[in-house]
Amino acid sequence: MPGHRKTMAEKLLTVGAVAVILALWAAAAAFGWADPKLIPSPQSVWEAFLDILQNGYKNHTLLQHIGASLGRLLAAFLLAAAAAVPLGLASGYNSKIRAVLEPIVEFYRPLPPLAYYTILVLWLGIGNPSKIALLFLACFAPVYVSCVSAVLGINRDFLNCAYAVGASRRQAFFHVVFPACLPGVLTGLRTALGVGYTTLVSAEMVAATSGLGWMVLDASRMLRSDIVFLGIIIMGITGILMDRCLRLLERWLVPWKGKE
């Protein structure tokens, strides 16, 4: 159910599911069910974490790798949100704006990121600008589509009531359309953050020297599966934390969601 908070029993089930996965992982390593080069033990991953935490990885500390990745992601995400939210709401509210923007978004949205990343590298170089541009495009489409859908899904009776009491189109937009669309907008932002994170590895594949995605790819070339697992776990945890921040923002901005 939307807006549902976990009960204690549900939290215990979540903890239990994670514990079972960790136990199976430890058992697979302890009993040799899989090649250690492919599936390292939890202990080796923990030792790799302590080593990188103390000595860094390839001339960068762990915090620098995390900061490089999150810096690229958050910069692109904030730029995409600042552009996609107003454009998406305007497109949903005005069919002429939608007629201009929708074909462009629908054309590139299904494309694999690496398909146009090479073009971005040619245009912007191999530094952060091309990576941020790639993440921007990855984040823009989900937010734009969610905003358009949110506006088109508004109950027309709400707008008719606003117009009936003398509201202008501008007043109706800010006092009816925008509040009604907030749940959809925030859902789009959460989706975009996830899409952006999955694109991060692609963004760090070309000529990067830092970042979690680069660290995972570099370690995989040397068959350091312990570092690969560590990078994936850190990306998963940071992704959960960022999503939780957006959920808290959603709970603050739209406390009525799921209660209607």
Which CATH topology does 38-253 take?
Answer: MetI-like fold (1.10.3720)
- State residue 8's pLDDT score: 81
Where are the chain's structural domains? Answer: 1-34, 38-253
- State residue 4's pLDDT score: 58
CA pair distance 92, 187, nearest whole angstrom: 16
- State residue 71's pLDDT score: 93
CA pair distance 107, 135, nearest whole angstrom: 17
Convert the pLDDT of each residue in 35-82 to its tens digit: 777 889 899 999 999 999 999 998 899 999 999 999 999 999 999 999
**pTM (2 decimals)?**
0.84
- State residue 204's pLDDT score: 84
Residue spans of the chain under pLDDT 70: 1-6, 207, 257-260
- State residue 106's pLDDT score: 93
- State residue 172's pLDDT score: 80
- State residue 226's pLDDT score: 92
What are the phi and psi torsion angles at 60 (to 5°)?
A: -135, 140
- State residue 257's pLDDT score: 66
CA pair distance 141, 78, nearest whole angstrom: 13
Paired residues of 15 in beta bridges: none
